[in-house]
Structure 1
């Protein structure tokens, strides 16, 4: 058990929903008891029962919930710098994929790596996120596309959460791409679904994801994966409408998915469906930027229908080699016209919702004491800076 203490001298962006978007409390105090927040409010109203606790004064700094990166692929082998060159020379994301590059090239490198090699390669990536105030990270499989490698990736992801002070949420992304020379339906039946069952039996899966796109799987194929997830009692999420509109967002809504991610080609009707389902729209500006996409997600439709919006890095070796959640926030604002308050909500309370988490993402009594103290006074500064990391202290489960 960690000792209890009081944090003072803070401007708290509690991220509890209110009119200003930040839930700001000036001259705030936060009481941490073991790994939980016990009290938060104006310092002048601190209850007398906390008078004997140690105090930590933070000099007027901003405190937010620890950030959450709700969409990553940071466990993988190799890199795709050569494909970066190809795209700069005019090749599209689809052309790279159909030429044997893209996801398949990472599959080859990941299959050739040992579990420990995958773990060691991912540690610097997880450390980079921790250094930017991240307390929760989602990590997907999907670069194995066979039974053994998918399990190897998920075991490495779980190990990251044991080796570092960060919470790892795993997603099984067996339906990420069709292996070379294999029929998509045969792959779903003979590899993807049995591997999902094995991963679930081993306790390696928190959610089930898929890539619903013309170069990957159609809605009927993804529905079969989601049916298996439902039978196993697992929530689902989906890469949907990234490159075209083939019905993935509507499918995600039909299955009450935790999130629909990318969603550049989603429509107002899709936004209405997501709102009705309670599904989060996760925008991923790193991929939009890297593959030179021109159609931005329909943020105004999401606003109009009350769809919660989250922001992630989509850190992966091909379409989004973006290792900065703060830069993702800036890009969501500059490329998609998200407001700074929406971007911070997108990496705190809405990101938690996109992962099905209810004990983090806001600063209030009873939540985990996962906090980030910043060398800024205005929360908009977190989205304003480009290549700037103003983190002062990250607190994870009450421990700095």
Structure 2
């Protein structure tokens, strides 16, 4: 090894799941921890890691372009947010009083609020305005230690408007240092102009899919399979058509009512089923049988003031499922970009351990968006996506809540955040927002 681009030394605790594959059930507890560690990076990828003395010994005689001292901090793989509604117009703070007075979410939607309110704001926004708003959210996520996010469309609900969202997301992936993975979700709600004609709108969504696939604007296709939105049969039709065109199925399943979305996810070979608060025992069995990743969103049940949460402990202990975690960042049910809030809520309300939480936010989240071989763990040859936290160990992150622990973020071997300051102007992919 004659040349290293970056040597990260002084790591108090390096914590990572091992390997590329999903960690299921008890495997989610298996975290590799190395005290007094170092990581060597070459060409944007991890070249060496381990105890600092061992790494330095192996690097004797090598030229090192830059050395950074982690100052005894915790270092993990970069966090991954595998379920967001990143690109949207407007906000919905006016619905807060309705929610707090006990008006159900589906009632707000039926009255033209909820998703439909954001559809109006998104349709009224230019692609540039959507891009700039989402760019700022990506900055916030980056400062939380997030290096990759998934972004769903679904606030356009017409071909032109859905393409507008997806094109904004594509441009964000090309220009912002955080990687953006796109999902087409034209079946997020039934637009007002199709009220009472859901089957006709399903026809329209299926007609949108070829252009989305042809332009390469999305990797996944998602559907909100829920009472009052899309039935299991309607969802099946959309997901199978998307799969035929090369878009891997995802599904918003059993968020409020046990409609059978989890069972459908197993049937169609979805990569992930998301929410799952009301999933039945049979639904969880079908997820396990179908190899589907449950993506849990504890911020949503928390913000909606719900008395129940996804059954993470049963998913892990009984059904041996590979749980992932995400923010569900959106303007209505969960308007937060904070993965560190999700870490705390996973501990408090889902009863997950710090080790399970790290696994869920890294390697399992990576696999939920088809990126397990590239990111999600600290492994030789993987992308050097790293987060540095002002914390002595993993348990400190959910324990000391309500603050941002992020000290630094390294993406593809480039420091983007250091000493709690954004420095990525020198390291980003391209244009920025003034």
Q: Normalising to structure 1: TM-score of the pair?
A: 0.96
Paired residues of 1:343 and 1:383 also in contact (CA < 8 A): no
Paired residues of 1:5 and 1:53 also in contact (CA < 8 A): no
CA distance in 1, matches of 2:4, 2:47: 12
Paired residues of 1:9 and 1:58 also in contact (CA < 8 A): yes
Cα distance, 1:270 vs structure 2: 2.0
Cα distance, 1:22 vs structure 2: 2.5
* Counterpart for residue 255 of structure 1: 268
Residue among 78, 101, 104 paired with 2:90: 78
Residue among 195, 199, 217 paired with 2:212: 199
Query: What's the secondary structure of 1:243's corresponding residue?
Result: coil
* Counterpart for residue 89 of structure 1: 101
Q: Deviations over 1:89-141 (max 9, x none)?
A: 22111111111111111111111111001111112111100111111011100
* Counterpart for residue 308 of structure 1: 322
* Counterpart for residue 296 of structure 1: 309
* Counterpart for residue 336 of structure 1: 350
* Counterpart for residue 369 of structure 2: 355
Paired residues of 2:183 and 2:219 also in contact (CA < 8 A): yes
* Counterpart for residue 132 of structure 1: 144
2:35 counterpart of 1:26 = yes
* Counterpart for residue 221 of structure 1: 234
Distance 1:19 1:332, change over 3 A: closer
* Counterpart for residue 9 of structure 1: 10
Gaps of 5+ in 2: 416-434
Q: Deviations over 1:357-397 (max 9, x none)?
A: 12100001111100011121111122223221111110000
Cα distance, 1:308 vs structure 2: 0.7
Paired residues of 2:213 and 2:246 also in contact (CA < 8 A): no
Residue among 230, 249, 259 paired with 1:246: 259
Distance 1:3 1:158, change over 3 A: farther
Cα distance, 1:143 vs structure 2: 0.4
Cα distance, 1:19 vs structure 2: 8.2
2:194 counterpart of 1:185 = no
* Counterpart for residue 368 of structure 1: 383
Paired residues of 2:28 and 2:322 also in contact (CA < 8 A): no
Cα distance, 1:48 vs structure 2: 4.6
CA distance in 2, matches of 1:288, 1:389: 22
CA distance in 2, matches of 1:125, 1:59: 28
Paired residues of 1:66 and 1:371 also in contact (CA < 8 A): yes
| Alignment size in residue pairs | 398
Report which stretch shifted further, 372-381 or 238-247. Answer: 372-381
Paired residues of 1:175 and 1:209 also in contact (CA < 8 A): yes
CA distance in 1, matches of 2:129, 2:5: 39
Cα distance, 1:235 vs structure 2: 1.0
Distance 1:19 1:181, change over 3 A: closer
CA distance in 1, matches of 2:186, 2:179: 22
2:297 counterpart of 1:284 = yes
* Counterpart for residue 157 of structure 2: 145
Q: Deviations over 1:234-258 (max 9, x none)?
A: 2111100100001100101112211
2:100 counterpart of 1:100 = no
Report which stretch shifted further, 211-220 or 159-168. Answer: 159-168
Distance 1:193 1:19, change over 3 A: closer
Gaps of 5+ in 1: none
* Counterpart for residue 337 of structure 2: 323
2:64 counterpart of 1:64 = no
Query: What's the secondary structure of 1:4's corresponding residue?
Result: strand
Q: Normalising to structure 2: TM-score of the pair?
A: 0.88
CA distance in 2, matches of 1:261, 1:374: 28
What's the C-alpha RMSD, in Å, of the aligned pairs?
1.6
CA distance in 1, matches of 2:158, 2:380: 44
Query: What's the secondary structure of 2:349's corresponding residue?
Result: helix
CA distance in 2, matches of 1:357, 1:100: 37
Report which stretch shifted further, 47-56 or 229-238. Answer: 47-56
2:157 counterpart of 1:156 = no
Paired residues of 1:271 and 1:301 also in contact (CA < 8 A): no
